[in-house]
Chains A and B, each alone.
Chain A
Amino acid sequence: AQTVTQSQPEMSVQEAETVTLSCTYDTSESDYYLFWYKQPPSRQMILVIRQEAYKQQNATENRFSVNFQKAAKSFSLKISDSQLGDAAMYFCAYRIHYGGSQGNLIFGKGTKLSVKP
């Protein structure tokens, strides 16, 4: 069974600094998607960034980028120039790319990010 592990329950970063959130996953599949979702206090789940496993190039969305290491099954999120609005729970998630009709996400337990002014 696929699992997603986030080993950092809480992280803290100074405003304007850079922080990296860790995620590892376990799967026997070769084709899949990986995601980072943000959940601010408003509790809305917001997609931050996604990565297709077949792509070697790391995904980037403005200040957010990932370090995808397929062999190591690692998928870390780097937030540059951290802003107060980045404070939230961050969830790493996995879903298989093929496999019939199943398209559900498997989530890690989350990392709570605090941003200090």
Chain B
Amino acid sequence: DSGVTQTPKHLITATGQRVTLRCSPRSGDLSVYWYQQSLDQGLQFLIQYYNGEERAKGNILERFSAQQFPDLHSELNLSSLELGDSALYFCASSVAPMDGGYTFGSGTRLTVV
């Protein structure tokens, strides 16, 4: 157990639907990162939060949004889902934005049918 908890582990949904992925960072970690892993694109950085504030954005689609709550857990919202959104979504956490080490969760496997 890495200490980073992601739920659900698997999610199957239909095109056009909306889903929410949840991440609880490791105790004491203030920074949360979301990554998408797909076969064709590899591991892509989506967005980063630090202590509730958005800090950086990567290749995140406008249909996707995220937030970090006061208790530091984070949610990634994916809407108007398309087949191409099927991927493994990882959350990672670290103590501070520039801390060298990341701890990854086990990911959420999203399948859009």
| B8-60 CB contacts (< 8 Å) to partner A | 31, 33, 35, 42-43, 45, 48, 50, 55-56, 58
Chain B interface extent, by class:
20 to 34
Taking beta carbons and an 8 Å cutoff, which residues of B are in contact with A? 2, 31, 33, 35, 42-43, 45, 48, 50, 55-56, 58, 88, 90, 92, 94, 97-104, 106-107, 109
Jot down 9 A-B pairs with beta carbons below 8 A, ordered by A: A43-B109, A44-B2, A45-B92, A45-B104, A47-B102, A102-B48, A103-B94, A103-B97, A105-B33
* CB pair B97 A102 closer than 8 Å: yes
Q: Which chain B positions have C-beta within 8 A of A112?
A: none
Q: Dominant SS at the A interface?
A: loop
- For residue A103, which residues in chain B have a CB less than 8 angstroms away from its CB? 31, 33, 48, 55-56, 94, 97-99
Q: Which residues from A are CB-within-8-Å of B98?
A: 97-98, 103
What residues of chain B lie closer than 8 Å to A91, measured between beta carbons?
A: 43
